[in-house]
Structure 1
């Protein structure tokens, strides 16, 4: 593949450096291919530059400002993207015609409404496009003219073209249609979380009834109210100019989501009982504009939060009839999937658990990670697919609806004895047949499946020890484009399936990390590409294998291009506990093999389910540069994708089920052994650090294996999982009321007595993700156990992700000092 920039060539060379020692088994016949080195540019590095913490932790604008939120224009002739404004958190929009030779030009404020959107909606003939700009609805017509459908300070959303060419949109939970020829707007249906109004009834009770008999005025007022109600109903029924009656879903209900058929004959809505605001958890903010302490509300803790089951209701838009859809047709809806867990916890308390049928709480798949609607109508309008999940996190279902019987028809069940992934839930319909496509991890890796409604089983279209994501179907149903790490776990390229023969074709061969957006004309791909040494920029290629790749933007600063960066080598560290190796980045000093054994640091990435030993640009760019500083000063640095990390399949992800901190620390121990045996590292001079989940891992390593590291820094760390949030934690540890064993096994606060080596704890105080309370409780525990080898640094104005350069600098000066003094 040619990688060409109109003003600058970017060469791609082959040969990712691997350790010669690791040999690892594969679960099938596939063998990992050698991965190309990250794209090397003509950037001229200056080897005389010395990395400094002051530069690394400065406002990151000095690195360059990569394109964000890029999308295609409607005519596929140009792309739009956002770029951070220098010295500000504001973003500006740019347009980059494909024929240009630079980064494009800023879009004038007066023209922003004309751009379109990454979420533009098309009419059936693809001649019209609709989008939302600043809460208002716009339509681009076939002649290119733009129609502004709404113009108000209210927020409008979810534009959708109906099969009769009307445009649908909603304001709140009221749906409107617009006849684009006449311009007439009509209310189609309004959803109300109230009881349906009824004609006033005669009050019950002796006094009330006597009042109505004895006092004519009281009876007259009552009759007037009844007549008013009846007249209103009669007018609405008889006069076509009146808006239809609202759909009343009941008092104290909360609408989760609602979707209307393209035929505008049915509406599907999910509701749950409204939950009061969390009054228990607050976050004191000590540094405020007023000088007062602000008590900010924050999220529920997993120990307090109880998900409300959802009701799925089919509503006829013809007569307003409501049909609750039962979940009893879903396979496993009443299985006691946690029976073994409950039995183990009961036994620990000297009790015996007897399993039985359990009506499980079920609702839409609407996780925080996932932006798709869980309700997907076929474009014909006569069928809909719904993705549902059990709130115990063990099942995901795809179901359709039998409209005659008003019942759910199960089409696919994904069951996981650990937890169903919150990623890899993309699904949808083929355009020209009643065929579903979806992602599933049931084989152990995320792959593409299709299912005809009349078939009993789904068909698997991709296979292998790699993960598929972002499936994109062409309008003619000929191709499914997707992103996958086929050749190497850390290299993501663009592929497509020829659906006529299920043949997989590789389109890009760029190395590193490549994301894509298919153009509206489906002839071109907009690529967002990066490497370990090169931040993201935009590229263009034809939507066919091995086409020429043209660079559209170059936003990296000249200052960054001069840095003498150390390219981390990806090594496959043999695991003492699994057949799979632990893929890890290693930063070597130039002369690491010379002289006495070196100092080393192992970095623990956050999020748990995140991949950081891939070949793309890391969100941990400050850490990347800090590791370059350490390598420049003679350290060897390792960055491990320990078990639980993303990119390596289901078993790697779920290894931490009910035992967070155990497999990961075992992997760190394997990393230490590899460094000693392969990288000339002194076992007695190795430290570790990380933030968030990485801070939790630092705790667990120092508390449970005190001889593994000589020092550690835990940043914004979790100390007790019972205090963390419900969506993340309940996946992995169930809930504390059901599985206290898992929480006690996985929470650092239960193992603090093991601390014997220097520990630095850095904690932001306005962290609404990992509460400052986590650090407060653990520090008190250490004090009560008379531990002395720890220090705590607090950051009064910082949230979970630091924002102030001064805070970043202070934090990393302390980390650097810890390693310098103890390694």
Structure 2
């Protein structure tokens, strides 16, 4: 009996751990709290598939994913048939995979790519790979040269080619730092006299000099077999290309400014225990890199730098310069007017503007080339035909914008450009009509044609591999939807392929028959689907990323509403309303960041934490409005540039007009409206609290720009020009100049190692508020966070403070005693 009892105890002891490991039924999310929604999203929400691409044989779709809730995403693969579960690709397998990016030859039979600093050639028919380089140095920028006969690449700022037939490697350029050395002959008269005297007096010296001359003749003869030595001083070289006929090596020369003062960001919480400075960036208006397009004519053994003096409008100065001959028109407070007192009043000189060239882009037959040239003030973009033999350019298209040039398919570089298969027409995107559309221009006669038109944007455009069909992504059905379309080569109606409401990010299979689609809806995070590449085809889901806990909550589908702005424009917004809203209830207005970004759309927001926070607010009785204010993406040029020279102008009044809509149509109390946002959203929050204190009672400004003169050049210069040329724009656009207007409760949150909007920004504003004797503000600092927070603990702390701010100041009839109730962060 005792033996039996001991055996039973042993069995229970063995089985107890197994019973404990049995997974329990997934817990429902329950009522939303900040602690719940700000957890590590990989652990409870799920990680969406990303970076989707096809294997070169089209048998697999590869993507990054993390269904196992690891610290990082891993590479997965799945068959497009959807007949199998996605499988993680082992590290050993990944080592043998070709890179997802690379360049193809004209017939799409070979691909050349870089991997781990070496160059490889893949035969797409046999799927066999040849390793071209195996060096300690890094080789980059692989491409096909001499119409596919050679492979080119760059090593140590020089161009090389490799011949697949012979295995021979040839150096095509020889760039050298510094100045060209002298030939040994003195330039000074006295030095020449002394040299001649030495040669006349001493036989040994004459013999040595004759030997030197013989060696130089021999080296010169050998040099004819090598590329010309090109001395570039202290310039850098990039974008090396060999022309299709092998005659020209083209390159971009970059001259960095001789002196740049770079802002340092101190990191206080470090592994070493010492404060460590992070070198970040210059500030707007600092000297910028100068660019030139150089050409090495191999046949003539000479080099030249292309000139642009004949470009139409190169001497045309921006219209805003004329304003400095007249009194400022925009009203400004005393602080702002004082800051603008240093504005220049003299008439600007009619000087040639600096430019940056991109290209050349050669036609497939190698007979023609074009460049994209942009003015460094980003107010002009020229597309020009290039004749390298004559060192001549011919204008094909000029886009001028008194604000700045950007938009889908345009960007700040060359943009989305190329040749049509006739080797005669260039295609590109332009906002000529106010929306980014697709155009062609004939280089032989200058004839221009619009392939698409309408009040929508072509957001992506590419030719099919057989060059018979355009593959387009556009928001033609609604500004808040993205669909995939086909169009004939010469234009015509768009044929819509995807149909599900939301966003459809499409990657086409190598044979063009199948689409990998990353799809999402407003309430559903991104998942991977597959479908045939034809209209009406059924989408088949390949991944399931969200967890049962996340799915247990009924996430709200926000309404897409339009706000009629005071200037008559229609402004789109997301609206979240309580099911049983009380009369004269509270509301919160959310301001997305980046400025040029879209958030009032029908797909899963990149602001997913904020989306979940808005659901929490609605559960607590708030109405939430999320506005695509002026400056946002997705709505064309006029909305994109609506903030030119006045950030905090129309973008802010759009939010004031939104607050008015809340009170007039949705029963919100005009005395109980708060506002919050991060980065650009933090900037707008500050402008709202300082200049519209009777509209917004409380605001949370996160990682905010407080003074645009302290932000970077690449972003700010486009919108406000340079501070020393357009001080009025900076004075009226910077919140620090309006700080005296603060009345409501203000919470500011900022990461101390923010290398984008520096912590110095919020420190300067804090000092200004102290000097103004303002008391209704607080600052919460995050010692280990950069611009975009990473740690769940930081997100949780920040959003608890934001919730407390709103609950304290928007819910009660009177503010809580003891200050603003903006939180308990350090001041």
Partners of 1:252 and 1:78 in 2: CA distance: 47
Question: Taking structure 1 as reference, are residues 67 and 154 closer, same or farther at Cα in structure 2, changes over 3 Å only?
Answer: farther
Partner of 1:458: 448
Q: How does 1:556-571 map to 2 (within 5 A)?
A: 556-571=546-561
Question: Taking structure 1 as reference, are residues 718 and 395 closer, same or farther at Cα in structure 2, changes over 3 Å only?
Answer: same
Question: Taking structure 1 as reference, are residues 90 and 670 closer, same or farther at Cα in structure 2, changes over 3 Å only?
Answer: same
Q: CA deviation at 1:459?
A: 0.8
Partner of 2:86: 104
Partner of 1:7: none
Partner of 1:199: 183
Confirm whether residue 787 of structure 1 aligns to residue 787 of structure 2: no
4+ residue segments displaced more than 4 Å:
44-48, 84-89, 214-227, 344-352
Partners of 1:452 and 1:203 in 2: CA distance: 52
- Give CA deviations for 1:377-420 in whole Å, capped at 9, x if unaligned: 22222222211111122101111212342111111100001111
Question: Taking structure 1 as reference, are residues 771 and 617 closer, same or farther at Cα in structure 2, changes over 3 Å only?
Answer: same
Partner of 1:152: 135
Partners of 1:233 and 1:429 in 2: CA distance: 41
Equivalent position to 1:321, from 302, 319, 324? 302
Partner of 1:127: 109
Q: CA deviation at 1:422?
A: 5.7
Partner of 1:26: none
- Quick check: 1:706–1:754 contact (8 Å CA) kept in 2? yes
Q: CA deviation at 1:178?
A: 1.6
Q: How does 1:327-338 map to 2 (within 5 A)?
A: 327-338=308-319
Q: CA deviation at 1:344?
A: 4.4
Confirm whether residue 171 of structure 1 aligns to residue 155 of structure 2: yes
Q: CA deviation at 1:87?
A: 5.9
Aligned length: 763
- Give CA deviations for 1:468-511 in whole Å, capped at 9, x if unaligned: 12111123332111111111111011112112452221111111
- Give CA deviations for 1:170-223 in whole Å, capped at 9, x if unaligned: 223222222223322222223334433453233636478537744957776666
- Quick check: 1:68–1:82 contact (8 Å CA) kept in 2? yes
Equivalent position to 1:725, from 708, 712, 732? 712
Q: How does 1:84-103 map to 2 (within 5 A)?
A: 84=66, 90-103=72-85
Equivalent position to 2:585, from 598, 608, 621? 598
Partners of 2:61 and 2:609 in 1: CA distance: 29
Q: CA deviation at 1:686?
A: 0.9
Equivalent position to 2:255, from 268, 273, 296? 273
Say which SS state the counterpart of residue 305 (structure 2) adopts: strand
Partner of 2:166: 182
Partner of 2:495: 505
Is the radius of gyration larger for structure 1 or structure 2? 2
Partner of 1:695: 682
Partners of 2:136 and 2:327 in 1: CA distance: 54
Partners of 2:651 and 2:206 in 1: CA distance: 76
Say which SS state the counterpart of residue 173 (structure 2) adopts: strand
Partners of 1:317 and 1:519 in 2: CA distance: 40
Question: Taking structure 1 as reference, are residues 540 and 615 closer, same or farther at Cα in structure 2, changes over 3 Å only?
Answer: same
Partners of 2:41 and 2:426 in 1: CA distance: 44
Partners of 1:666 and 1:548 in 2: CA distance: 44
Partner of 1:637: 624
Q: CA deviation at 1:288?
A: 1.4
- Give CA deviations for 1:525-560 in whole Å, capped at 9, x if unaligned: 222211111122222222222222222222223322
Q: CA deviation at 1:696?
A: 0.3
Task: Provide TM-score, normalisation by structure 1.
Answer: 0.88
Equivalent position to 1:757, from 744, 758, 761? 744
Say which SS state the counterpart of residue 503 (structure 1) adopts: coil
Partner of 1:37: none
Say which SS state the counterpart of residue 111 (structure 1) adopts: helix
Deviates more, 1:442-451 or 1:283-292: 283-292
- Quick check: 2:29–2:550 contact (8 Å CA) kept in 1? no
Q: CA deviation at 1:352?
A: 5.4
Q: CA deviation at 1:45?
A: 12
Question: Taking structure 1 as reference, are residues 85 and 187 closer, same or farther at Cα in structure 2, changes over 3 Å only?
Answer: farther
Confirm whether residue 746 of structure 1 aligns to residue 746 of structure 2: no
Question: Taking structure 1 as reference, are residues 346 and 564 closer, same or farther at Cα in structure 2, changes over 3 Å only?
Answer: closer
Partners of 2:176 and 2:605 in 1: CA distance: 45
Partner of 1:11: none
Unaligned runs of 5+ in 1: 1-43, 366-373
Q: CA deviation at 1:574?
A: 1.7
Partner of 1:495: 485
Q: CA deviation at 1:80?
A: 1.4
Q: How does 1:232-251 map to 2 (within 5 A)?
A: 232-237=219-224, 243-248=226-231, 250-251=232-233
Partner of 2:374: 389
Question: Taking structure 1 as reference, are residues 282 and 351 closer, same or farther at Cα in structure 2, changes over 3 Å only?
Answer: closer
Partners of 1:211 and 1:560 in 2: CA distance: 88
Partner of 1:431: 421
Query: Over aligned residue pairs, what C-alpha RMSD do you find?
Result: 2.5
- Give CA deviations for 1:658-691 in whole Å, capped at 9, x if unaligned: 1100111211111111111222211111100000
- Quick check: 1:759–1:789 contact (8 Å CA) kept in 2? yes
